[in-house]
Amino acid sequence: MSADIQNDGDSKPTCAEATVSLPATGIATVEGKEPPPEKEADTRRRSWIVLSFWLIAVFIGLPIWWNTTTIYRANLPLGQMTDWADGKACEPVFPLRIALDVGALPEQEAQNLLRLTQHALDDLNDFSGHHLRLQLAQAPTEATAPVRDDSNVALTIRLAPGDAAHTASSSLHPHLPILDVQYPPNSLPTANSPSSGLATYIATQLGATFAEEQNIISYLLESSSITSEHRPKGISQEVVDTVSKRMTRSLKYSQTYHLTFSLFTNGPVPSSWDIEAAIDQYMKPVLDMLRPIHNFTIDTQVQLYASPGVQSLVLGKEDLSSFVNAAEWPLSPSIGGAPTVNFIVYTGNHTIGVPSEASPGETSQSWMIPQWGSVYLLAPPAEATHVSSETLKQPILTFTSHLLTLLGTPQSGSLPMRLSTLARIRSADLLLRASSSLGSLARLTLALPSISIPSNVADGVVKTIHHLELACASLGGAKSLEHARIAEAEAERAFFEKSMVGQLYFPDEHKVAVYLPLLGPIGVPLVMGLLNEIKAWKNRRSQKLKAA
Amino acid sequence: MKLPLALLLTPLLNIVAGLHTSNWAVLVGTSRFWFNYRHLANVLSMYRTVKRLGIPDSQIILMLPDDMACNPRNAFPGTVYSNSDRAVDLYGDNIEVDYRGYEVTVENFIRLLTDQMPRSKRLLTDDRSNIFVYMTGHGGNEFLKFQDAEEIGAPDLADAFEQMWEKKRYHEILFMIDTCQANTMYSKLYSPNIIATGSSELDQSSYSHHADNDVGVAVIDRYTYYNLEFLESEVRDTSSKKTIGDLFDSYSYEKIHSHAGVRYDLFKGGADAARSRLLTDFFGNVQNVEIDGTRNTTMIDDELISLSKTIARLSELAHEEEMAAKMVAPPSQKVGRHRRSQSR
């Protein structure tokens, strides 16, 4: 029995040799102990099998691999986006309509005055991006009922005849965007006169009223990448410096700001304050007034035994910047939501040792930290444990004026003018910012070919462009701020899309390392099978040729 | 011809130089485990330095993948030292780690830079912010390993900076990296206004400075050690006038045992401008406070308050009128709107 087994064992290698040699020699070398020749049907079936594997790999495997590994890049209107960023899509022109309320003047004279004043204005103003256009007020209005029907009118000039002896004088109305002009009756232009003292006077007054706004807007245009023929002719270095300083300290525009009022004390007292009443009384009116432009949320806190970031009791200029103890004082770093403006009242024995420029010899009690908030040093109150709202009056009023500065409110002119200017500046700012975001996104899309662009980014871009168009069409009007705000928010959202993270760089070694273990075992039999089939087919053909 | 040009340029340069209004620091360690004690000590030393020079915690992003102070192998529990004299406890009583443990990932790091991180401590910088970025860990040719699990490639880092630049998220960046073959990490950067420096060239290791026999491991890397030595001895407070150039000139092969690299070409104004930047422009904190005048402003403010009351009331009235007008004639408005949309 054992011999038999051994015999079987011996015979196997030969068998194996034969099978091994089989593919090499092909079908032609079939001899004695070799297996019987393959049937035609078997050969054909094998061809089909190899073919079907290939078909599956090419028509199912490849597309699946391609689909699952390519990066989805939504189509962005790149040309349009770049146009916006370069300022080609929108001419940043602010046509400001100014109504001329001539009172009881006859139509003819009024028209004449209007024409002359417009001439004088055009001569005065070479910055076409910010254009003042005069028109006659539709209906003569009474002094108590102001023009409210047309919100696009930035300013109404109310003319009233005054003393003949005096020269013309003007004053801004404190509550309404109205410039009251008193003129001596004899200064009215005659029908044919080429110029008029009154017209020039009005034009100069208007120029002065809008000078700050023009400076800020031309600064914004200048610092943006927009190229335009409406670009101002160049503003003086001095103006650039002041405006840039102002823009630097003001906060970025946001629809909502979060105001945090904190009372920090260096000891156990005072431990309570009438902050609610004080805010209601001294700050709320201003917040209400700002409502069309910003919303505000408020919170307050009291922290006892809070030590400032500096040791000395007399604070030098250097100390002021490190006075706020960022490490220990619980001041919100604006995680999500609205940006925070911090207002700190600190009670302690600290004094500011820097004589202020306005009145040397005396020292101030408060300072403002650009883009952050402000600090007020309050001497410990008499009734030790409680800070009354009376005591808080000065701090809160200081904070209010700081808030206006931090929001970027212009400093000259009457309050209503400052507000409407703020709205226009902000819409220009937002418009430019949204445009530049679009440009950044477009450049980034081209620069990073491996970053994915989800479809909601494309949606955001389309929405941004839509609202930008609306804002641009209504620039200087009431709706433009709203549209510019939406455009800017959409542009930001599109740019900061969460899934657009450029973390897709893989070195080639990595790719080989990933694909080789997968594709090697599959690829080798596939390729070998195909090669064998081709060889067999060639053999068959040459045999057929021989036979023929 | 040259003189007027120079005169023209001077004010411009001044503006550029004086532009930044806030300082931020991003300090990243990327390795875990006890034997990488020195990397965490590197990061904590840098943290201590920038804090000493006035950058508040709210503007420092500290990423620490492991907690050496609480490691069971630590012979001095609750402390981390970067020197065998153990004079300064880096863990101290006031440190704020923003990203810890497994939160320190490549993705989080890149998201932090590009601000695509909705719910965490954010890098709230703008075009007036100077950022100091410090990284340390184990790296190689054009990569830095994060936590044994993944790595950040030099091209990804460069793209992240580019994304920041596009969105105007920095004014100037000082990028400093201490790892093996560190200089390869900044070789791919292409965004402007970045000064970069690294501890070692391609195929060079970055070495540790010394070990503490009681702690049992190396406590700090050479490159970081000599950077800190310079900062501690030369930049005592924010009034220091030492420049980036002074710091970079202090590097030498004898001290660091590898060739520290610097890169100026991305910086506007090239090497000269970059070298003349003050160290406190990146390691310190600027805050241009504005002190109020003492002039009693109450009168004006009172007026302001009453004015605002009137204006708020007027605008409310206007709003009500508008609403009333809408209530009276809603159908005609709707028709008008409809027609307009059709005509489009």
Q: Shortest Cα distance from A219 to chain B (angstroms)?
A: 14
Least confident of A26-30, A365-369, B146-150, B267-271: A26-30
Q: Do B110 and A503 touch (CB under 8 A)?
A: yes
Pair (B98, B237) in one structural domain? yes
The residues of B that are catalytic are: 138, 180
A497 to chain B: which residues are within 8 Å by CB? Answer: 116
Pair (B213, B316) in one structural domain? no
Q: Do A448 and B166 touch (CB under 8 A)?
A: no
* pLDDT given for residue B41 in this prediction: 92
The residue behind tokens 């641009």 is A472
Task: Say what the alpha-carbon torsion angle A168, A171, A173, A174 is, to the nearest 10 degrees.
Answer: -160
* pLDDT given for residue B62 in this prediction: 92
Pair (B188, B329) in one structural domain? no
Cα nearest neighbour of B291 on chain A: A367
Mean pLDDT of A334-363: 71
- Contact between A350 and A376 (Cβ < 8 Å): no
Pair (B216, B335) in one structural domain? no
Least confident of A124-138, B93-107, B221-235: A124-138
The residue behind tokens 């910086």 is B267
Disruptive mutation site among B20, B97, B289, B344 for chain A (greatest number of A CBs within 10 Å): B289
Least confident of A313-317, B79-83, B85-89, B178-182: A313-317
Interface check for A252 against chain B (CB to CB < 8 A): the answer is yes
Disruptive mutation site among A151, A286, A394 for chain B (greatest number of B CBs within 10 Å): A286
pLDDT class for A233, splitting at 50, 70, 90?
Answer: low
Q: What's the gap between Cα A486 and its chain centre?
A: 10
B237 domain residue, yes or no? yes
Torsions phi, psi of B129, nearest 5?
-105, 135
* pLDDT given for residue A355 in this prediction: 62
Pair (B228, B333) in one structural domain? no
Pair (B24, B145) in one structural domain? yes
* pLDDT given for residue A18 in this prediction: 42
B290 domain residue, yes or no? no
Interface check for A148 against chain B (CB to CB < 8 A): the answer is yes
Give the total residue count for chain B. Answer: 344
- Please give the ipTM for the structure prediction: 0.71
Pair (B229, B315) in one structural domain? no
DSSP three-state, residue A155: strand
* pLDDT given for residue B340 in this prediction: 41
B215 domain residue, yes or no? yes
Which domain, by its residues, includes B310?
298-343
The percentage of chain A sitting over the pLDDT mark of 70, rounded to a whole number, equals 76
pTM of the model: 0.74
B115 to chain A: which residues are within 8 Å by CB? Answer: 496
pLDDT at B173 over 80: yes
pLDDT at A146 over 80: no
State the Cα–Cα distance between residues A214 and B91, nearest whole angstrom: 53
pLDDT in tens, A177-231: 777 777 776 666 666 666 667 777 777 777 777 777 777 777 777 776 555 444 4
Pair (B313, B166) in one structural domain? no
- CATH assignment of the domain containing B53: 3.40.50.1460
List the one residue out of B246, B178, B244 whose CA is nearest residue B209.
B178
Q: Do A415 and B308 touch (CB under 8 A)?
A: yes
Q: In what order do the strands lie in the sheet with B139-140?
A: B139-140, B143-146, B150-153
Average pLDDT of every residue of chain A: 76
pLDDT at A150 over 50: no
**Comparing B316 with B26, which gets the higher pLDDT?**
B26
Q: Shortest Cα distance from A268 to chain B (angstroms)?
A: 23
Pair (B329, B222) in one structural domain? no
Q: Shortest Cα distance from A442 to chain B (angstroms)?
A: 10
Disruptive mutation site among A246, A254, A505 for chain B (greatest number of B CBs within 10 Å): A505
User: How many folded domains does chain B comprise?
Assistant: 2
B11 domain residue, yes or no? no
Highest mean pLDDT among A175-189, A502-516, B188-202, B286-300: B188-202
List the one residue out of A341, A335, A336, A332 whose CA is nearest residue A251.
A341
What is the full DSSP assignment across A194-262? S--HHHHHHHHHHHHHHHHHHHHHHHHHHHSS---TTS-S---HHHHHHHHHHHHHSPPP-SEEEEEEE
pLDDT at B1 over 50: no
* pLDDT given for residue A21 in this prediction: 44
pLDDT at A314 over 70: yes
B10 domain residue, yes or no? no
* C-alpha distance from residue B340 to each of A467, B263, B343 (Å): 17, 59, 5
A317 to chain B: which residues are within 8 Å by CB? Answer: 289, 291
B9 domain residue, yes or no? no
- Contact between B255 and B249 (Cβ < 8 Å): no
* pLDDT given for residue B300 in this prediction: 57
pLDDT class for B196, splitting at 50, 70, 90?
Answer: very high
Pair (B316, B174) in one structural domain? no
The percentage of chain A sitting over the pLDDT mark of 90, rounded to a whole number, equals 4
A415 to chain B: which residues are within 8 Å by CB? Answer: 304, 307-308, 311
pLDDT class for A152, splitting at 50, 70, 90?
Answer: low
* pLDDT given for residue A385 in this prediction: 80
pLDDT at A59 over 70: yes
B11 to chain A: which residues are within 8 Å by CB? Answer: 237
Q: Which two tokens stand for residue A526?
A: 């596939």
pLDDT at B132 over 90: yes
Cα nearest neighbour of A491 on chain B: B167
pLDDT in tens, A436-466: 888 888 888 888 777 788 888 889 899 998 9
- Contact between A300 and A340 (Cβ < 8 Å): no
Pair (B219, B305) in one structural domain? no
Pair (B70, B137) in one structural domain? yes
B6 domain residue, yes or no? no
Which member of B156, B163, B287 has the closest CB to residue A369? B287
Least confident of A55-69, A259-273, A304-318: A304-318
B181 domain residue, yes or no? yes
How many residue contacts between A and B have a Cβ separation below 8 Å? 187
* pLDDT given for residue A547 in this prediction: 84
pLDDT in tens, A239-294: 777 777 777 778 888 888 888 898 888 888 788 888 888 888 888 888 888 887 88
Interface check for A496 against chain B (CB to CB < 8 A): the answer is yes
pLDDT in tens, B239-260: 788 889 999 999 999 888 999 9
Which member of B114, B291, B314 has the closest CB to residue A175? B314
